[in-house]
Amino acid sequence: MPQRIAFRLYVKPDMLDEYMRRHDPVWPEMLEEIAASGRRNYSIFHVGGGELVGFYETDDDAASQAYLAKSEVAAKWEADMGRFFVAQEGRADQNAEIFPEVFNLEAQLAAARS
């Protein structure tokens, strides 16, 4: 079963509009790097006040992070985006606050049906 990763970041409220513009669209080469890292079903949601919650699936999150950590494209993207974040140490793709999964319908259904 793939790993499902949920994370949170905070964007400076006065920079939120620009942050959103930068994501519509994201650089094509960055989109390709995210996909090449093994991340899929990747979404970021704005929940208010500059708070962002994101989600993606991957087969190996450590390998995905390692791939992006070595990527020149990702380094350039993260350097450009770093100024948008509140109290973010290092690159957002490497240091976002991660949340443990508490419930997964598909996993529990599969277990209950077997």
Q: 99 has which bridge partners?
A: 6
Terminal Cα-to-Cα distance of the chain (whole angstroms): 15
Amino acid, res. 17 = D
Catalytic residue among 2, 8, 23, 79: 23
Known catalytic residue at 23 = yes
What does the longest C-alpha to C-alpha distance in the chain come to?
Answer: 51
Active site residues: 23
